[in-house]
Amino acid sequence: MATVSLQGLHKSFGSTEVIKNVNVDVEDREFVALVGPSGCGKSTLLRMIAGLETISSGDISIGNNVVNEVMPSDRKVAMVFQSYALYPHMTVRQNMSFGLEVTGHPKNEIIDKVEKAAHILQLGELLDRKPKQLSGGQRQRVAIGRAIVRDPEVFLFDEPLSNLDAELRVQMRVELALLHKQLNATMIYVTHDQVEAMTLADKIVVLRAGVIEQIGAPMELYNRPANEFVAGFIGSPRMNMIPVKTALDAGWKGSKITGAVKIGVRPEHLVRSKKGLEGTIYHLEHLGGQTLTHIKLPDDTDLTLVEAGEHTYNRGDKITVEPEAKTLHAFDKVGKAIRN
Amino acid sequence: MGNANRYAPWLFLFPALIYFFILVIYPIFGSFWVSFHDWNGTTFQCSDGRSLLELKEDESCRRVPVMTWVGLENYERFFEKTPRDFERVRNYWVGIFTGEPVRWPRLSVESKVLLNNIKWLLLFPAAIPIGLAFALFLNQSPTWVRITKSMFFFPFVLSPAVIAFVFQYFYDPAGPLKEIYNALGWSSGFIGDQNKATYGIIAAGWYPQIAYCMIIYLAGLTAIEPEQIEAARLDGAKGWKLLKRVILPQLWPATFIALVVTMIGALRSFDLVQVMTGGGPGRGSTDVLARYMYHKTIFDQDYGYGAAIAVILFVIMLFFIAIFIQQMIRRDEET
Amino acid sequence: MFPRPIETWKPSSRTLYTVSVFIVLLGWLLPLIIISLASFMTADQLNAGGRGLNMPSPFSVDGWTVAIKNDEFRGSFINSFFIVLPVVAISVGLATMAGFALSKYRFRGQLLIFAIFIGGNFVPFQILMVPVLRLTQDLGIYNTKWALIFFHGAFQTGFCVFFMRNFIAQLPSELLEAARVEGASEWKIFTRIVLPLVKPAIAALSVLIFTFVWNDFFWSLVLTPASPDGMLAPAGLSNIIRGRFYNAWNVMAAGSMLVALPPVIMFFLLQKQFIAGLTLGANKG
């Protein structure tokens, strides 16, 4: 069983605490994404699971065993690094065989496993090339191949797509999702890109400054963010945050609104209307299939409106918007979501 | 690196560390120890206290030097005449100022040695700007310039003993500079003359040192971001201004290395002095601490005194070494 | 690039530059040119006032043959290889391991130890002279080449550690971490990941150490004064040639050139490595 369990995990570098009381349970074969802004500790957490960083307090268990004191090589995990960390002086085949060689596996077993992994990732033709002769996407697949070959219980990914250009990233996202289904393995995936998290993960862990803000399935986080931070982090463009007074003045009602300090509504949930929040358009972004309209309200709040298709508004136009039904989020003075 | 083998780094480090310690670090302390004693280098006894004469035919024992403790006496001896010599030199300069006829005073060998080291410290670094000038002069990419750069670098690859020979021949009164000597009235040539010889040796020292500084600066110039230079040129800077305000500041790391290495090199110049003049002509006119120490120890068999001289030299150099290490570590922490 | 690249200059400036470079180069190499001329002169020509920028006439290899034929000089020349090569192997080998430890691990005191290696390399030889001399005497290797190998192997390690540590520090740590996660032992990581990647540094360093040790003079005088077999080439030049052939400038000139030859050849063959080695650290930051 390749479950991973983090219990009461703390980590400090010197006197700075970077991981504060993290508790996460990863089910067997689950794809869990660790997301958060730069510096939130997600990479540190991943490295602690791999055994590359020490634990200040708490436990990490893989399967049924506590692995705090176990060496990285004995934890049965494989890691794909952000820079791929391919050995530059070895061919693709040698890169993939290295781990098995140094742990004493017999030659034919190694050849067999490398062939299998190469087949899954379509690396067959590249086996005798060196990393510097490969493109970014190819290198990434070799890095994944190196991990697959070891037949680990858990795959760890550290921002694997961030070094690829935009188009390749989209393509690799799909391939990674398919790979997960094909290998049916437990995967823990670190990224700062919430789109990757939303599209790939079974469960998302949102981290900020070493603290878990929320854990849940993607749509759970999208529809019911636990606080302002998660609400703003998940979903692009960001959720609009409106001071409660402005919302009330525009006639918005709802049981959640009492006691709230800010009201949140996603750009894609706003529609043009005759009455509601009135503001002035100060910028337009035309993406072809969508139009993003940036609006300034009289109280200086910024609003973003997302509509499908092309809309020919002009800068300086006045525009009124209101939210669709049941799409409001309310947050209290400490940023926590108010549920009814 | 959490769980990586805790002992691994020490295992990798130990062989080099122990070896280095035994032959470089420990001897430093050993020399300090000897400097507080008097020993002629040939008197030994057995480590258990018996004299060597008491040994029977085929018996041997561990030999231990017979050193007498003298405390700071060696150091006092070195600086004994320094105040007096200092006075004499001061009077000399006062005399120059007031226009009286003065002759360069007679100084003790120790004072001459110290003065020579000061001359080295002051003059040797002239190699740095000259090296920079050559680097700027040769900073072009065509192949023939690159070949020229290699040939300019020649002198650095030669042994100082060879350089000493080359310049000895070069400076010989009957040699290539004969005509120049006649014109200047220097009958004994450059290094045959007590008053000028040190300068001749320093000039010989410049030969490889300029080549070294040139290479350091060439590397430094290549490391400057081309975009910075282009931006400055677009802003209208060129020539001397560009050099002074954009290039030179960027060359500071190179200048620093060149400076420290040159200063340390100025104090280490044993080979040139030993081969070219052996410290002479006359007593100590070109001698420097490094060579004087060697002479005193090996030839005058005054091991304690020699060690004291070595300690003095070491302490002076420690100053520069400390600066170098401090900078290295600081720059290391910044990256 | 500063000064402006030569391709952008006026043709007249370019010609002026070429000519001036040639002249400066000639002036710079003058002492060496004169010595090489002297090596091909006969003793007679030298004594008759030919000691200058003159062409050898007659052209003679007397100086060279006498120097090479001299058994002791030839002995010290050849034996120098047997001293220098082991020293290179020892110091570079030990330093690569030490440099690895100091750059890719974190432990207490590592900065201090690194500083000791750097500082130790810069100390004046004289502060080491007496204790090292006594040590070689006690070990019975005084006046043999083993004394020089023993000392230089340790001393050069200082510079080598400085060099290798800085070079290895630049290797991406993720490579080592990936290997660790894959189960490689620390020693395997060193031999199969680090060593192949530091080959260029080892080449550069070896060339430098060869030059430094070959050119050493002081320690030959101190540790092998009476042993032509044990001394390094420059001491051989000074003690033997100068002793026997005091006034035979052509022999001394030829001897000088012979002694200079190995480092010069190494330099020309491996220039890039040589210069890379020297300038490491000149541009950090």
pLDDT band at residue B335, thresholds of 50, 70 and 90? low
Cβ neighbours for A250, distance < 8 A, ≥ 6 positions apart: A275, A276, A277, A278, A322
Q: A223 and A123, same structural domain?
A: yes
Contact flag A52-C193 (C-beta cutoff 8 Å): no
Q: Report whether A201 contacts A11 (CB < 8 A).
A: no
Helices (H), C139-172: 145-169
| C252 within a domain of the structure (yes/no) | yes
pLDDT for B3: 47
Q: Is C68 on the interface with A (CB under 8 A)?
A: no
The span from the CA of B122 to the CA of B93, in Å, is 19
| A61 within a domain of the structure (yes/no) | yes
The span from the CA of B270 to the CA of C126, in Å, is 9
Range in B185-194, B215-224, C117-126 with the lowest mean pLDDT: B185-194
Of the CA atoms within 13 Å of residue A72, those in its CB half-sphere come to: 30
Report whether pLDDT(A251) > 90. no
pLDDT for B154: 86
Q: A63 and A47, same structural domain?
A: yes
What length is written for chain C?
285
CATH of the domain at C215: 1.10.3720.10
pLDDT for B1: 42
- B20 → closest Cβ in C34, C120, C252: C120
- Token pair of C172 as six digits: 């991406």
CATH of domain B110-299: 1.10.3720.10
Radius of gyration of the CA atoms of chain B, in A: 25
Q: A219 and A251, same structural domain?
A: no
Contact flag A102-C197 (C-beta cutoff 8 Å): no
pLDDT for A87: 93
| C44 within a domain of the structure (yes/no) | no
The span from the CA of B75 to the CA of A23, in Å, is 69
Q: Is C115 on the interface with B (CB under 8 A)?
A: yes
Strands A4-13 and A16-26: antiparallel
pLDDT for C107: 87
- CA C96 vs CA C102, C152, C202: distances in Å: 10, 16, 8
Query: SS3 of A308, please?
Result: strand
Query: SS3 of C100, please?
Result: helix
Range of the domain at C138: 71-279
| C228 within a domain of the structure (yes/no) | yes
∠ CA B145-B151-B157, nearest 5°, is 140
Chain B positions in Cβ-Cβ contact with residue A52 (cut-off 8 Å): 1-2
Domain boundary at A204, A233, A262, which?
A233
Q: Report whether A143 contacts C175 (CB < 8 A).
A: no
Helix (H) / strand (E) containing B78: helix B73-79
CB atoms within 10 A of CB B9: 23
Q: Report whether B245 contacts B165 (CB < 8 A).
A: no
| C116 within a domain of the structure (yes/no) | yes
Peptide bond into A72 cis (omega under 30): no
Chain A positions in Cβ-Cβ contact with residue B2 (cut-off 8 Å): 47-48, 51-55
Q: A157 and A118, same structural domain?
A: yes
Cβ neighbours for C133, distance < 8 A, ≥ 6 positions apart: C142, C222, C223
Q: Mean pLDDT across chain C, nearest whole number?
A: 87
pLDDT for C284: 40
- C97 → closest Cβ in B15, B215, B334: B15
- CA C255 vs CA A320, C246, C247: distances in Å: 97, 12, 13
> CA of C179 to nearest chain A CA: how many angstroms apart?
7
Contact flag B264-C122 (C-beta cutoff 8 Å): yes
Q: A219 and A250, same structural domain?
A: no
Peptide bond into B281 cis (omega under 30): yes
The highest-confidence range among A155-169, B169-183, C1-15, by mean pLDDT, is: A155-169
Q: Is C123 on the interface with B (CB under 8 A)?
A: yes
CB atoms within 10 A of CB C64: 18
% chain B with pLDDT above 70? 97
> CA of C217 to nearest chain B CA: how many angstroms apart?
7
In this structure, what are the phi and psi dihedrals at residue A205, rounded to the nearest 5 degrees?
-110, 115
Give strand pairing partners of B119. none
Tell me the domain boundaries of chain B: 29-52+60-107+302-308, 110-299
Q: A223 and A278, same structural domain?
A: no
- Token pair of C257 as six digits: 């050139």
Handedness of CA C242, C243, C249, C253 (dihedral sign): negative
Tally of structural domains, chain C: 1
| C198 within a domain of the structure (yes/no) | yes
Q: Name the residue of chain B whose CA is nearest to C6's CA.
A: B140
The span from the CA of B305 to the CA of B312, in Å, is 11
The span from the CA of A64 to the CA of A54, in Å, is 20
| C4 within a domain of the structure (yes/no) | no
Q: A248 and A149, same structural domain?
A: no
| A64 within a domain of the structure (yes/no) | yes
CATH of the domain at A299: 2.40.50.140
- When scoring B23, B33, B271 by the number of chain C Cβ atoms within 10 A, the one with the most, hence best to mutate, is B23
- A102 → closest Cβ in C172, C183, C196: C183
Give exposure, A205-233, as e/b (b: 16+ Cβ within 10 Å). Answer: bbbbebbbbbbbebeebbeebbbbbbbeb
Range of the domain at A86: 4-233
Domain boundary at A192, A211, A233, which?
A233
- When scoring B1, B7, B20 by the number of chain C Cβ atoms within 10 A, the one with the most, hence best to mutate, is B20
Q: Mean pLDDT across chain B, nearest whole number?
A: 87
| C254 within a domain of the structure (yes/no) | yes
pLDDT for A14: 86
Q: Give the residue, B185 or C194, on which the prediction is more confident.
A: C194
Q: A314 and A212, same structural domain?
A: no
| C209 within a domain of the structure (yes/no) | yes
- Token pair of A294 as six digits: 């940036």
pTM comes to 0.85
| A323 within a domain of the structure (yes/no) | yes
The span from the CA of A46 to the CA of A23, in Å, is 13
Q: A259 and A217, same structural domain?
A: no
Contact flag A102-C177 (C-beta cutoff 8 Å): no
Give strand pairing partners of A203. A32
| A294 within a domain of the structure (yes/no) | yes
Mean pLDDT of C115-125: 91
Q: A112 and A10, same structural domain?
A: yes
Handedness of CA A136, A137, A140, A146 (dihedral sign): negative
Q: Report whether A291 contacts A307 (CB < 8 A).
A: yes
CATH of the domain at A100: 3.40.50.300
Domain boundary at A201, A233, A265, which?
A233
Contact flag C177-A85 (C-beta cutoff 8 Å): yes
Tally of structural domains, chain A: 2
Give exposure, A241-260, as e/b (b: 16+ Cβ within 10 Å). Answer: bbbbebbeebebeeebbeeb
Q: What is the pLDDT of residues A86-141, one digit of tens each?
A: 999 999 999 999 989 988 899 999 999 999 999 989 898 999 999 999 998 899 99
pLDDT for A303: 92
Q: A293 and A201, same structural domain?
A: no
Report whether pLDDT(B195) > 70. yes
Chain C positions in Cβ-Cβ contact with residue A81 (cut-off 8 Å): 174, 177-178
Contact flag C101-B13 (C-beta cutoff 8 Å): yes
Chain C positions in Cβ-Cβ contact with residue B16 (cut-off 8 Å): 94-95, 97-98, 117, 157, 161
